Amino acid sequence: MGNQQPSLTDIELGWLCGIIDGEGCVYIYRRGGARIDYKPGIRVAMCCFDTIEYLSQLLHKADVPHHITTYKSSKEKNRQANKCITIEGQKRLLKILPWLTPHLITKKKQAAVVWQFCEERLKRWHRSEYSETQLALIEVASIMNKRGYQEEGSTTIRKE
């Protein structure tokens, strides 16, 4: 049964990929505490609540568990509140990444790295130490999510 295609139309799948490419983040973050742990996820945050609500409806339709939070920036007093939708955890991501990744453009490589991390992690006991491969994938994901990241060989085109 595994990773079945979701019950989304091609237009809905394209829209979902566009939102994740444009406004989303595909990541692996470090959780501290007594034991260091890493958690993969996909997050989309914006101040347009209607867009987040529609995204949530599509994820429900595709049977992908997710969480929505509302927050207001503490840095700017007059700033509008934002909503954030997150999909976190290896099993949840392995449900969405196989059918989402081929259609992504901007976040395709990040999604592939996170997908590989999830597969590697689920091969072992969940409390086991991180393998060298897993730590390398975490490092690659971190580098790819840094602001201003560009692959080697890319150039900036400037208009005079």
pLDDT one-digit tens code per residue, 37-80: 899 999 999 988 999 999 999 999 999 999 999 987 666 666 67
Q: What is the pLDDT of residue 34?
A: 77
Mean pLDDT for the chain overall: 86
CA distance 119 to 122: 5
Task: Give the residue among 95, 40, 99 at the shortest CA–CA distance from 63.
Answer: 95
Number of neighbouring beta carbons within 10 Å of residue 28: 23
**Residue 133: band (very low, low, confident or very high) from pLDDT cuts 50, 70, 90:** very high
Question: Does the pLDDT of residue 94 top 90, yes or no?
Answer: yes
At the fourth CATH level, the homologous superfamily of domain 10-144 is: Homing endonucleases (3.10.28.10)
pTM of the full structure: 0.83
In the chain, the percentage of residues whose pLDDT exceeds 90 is 66
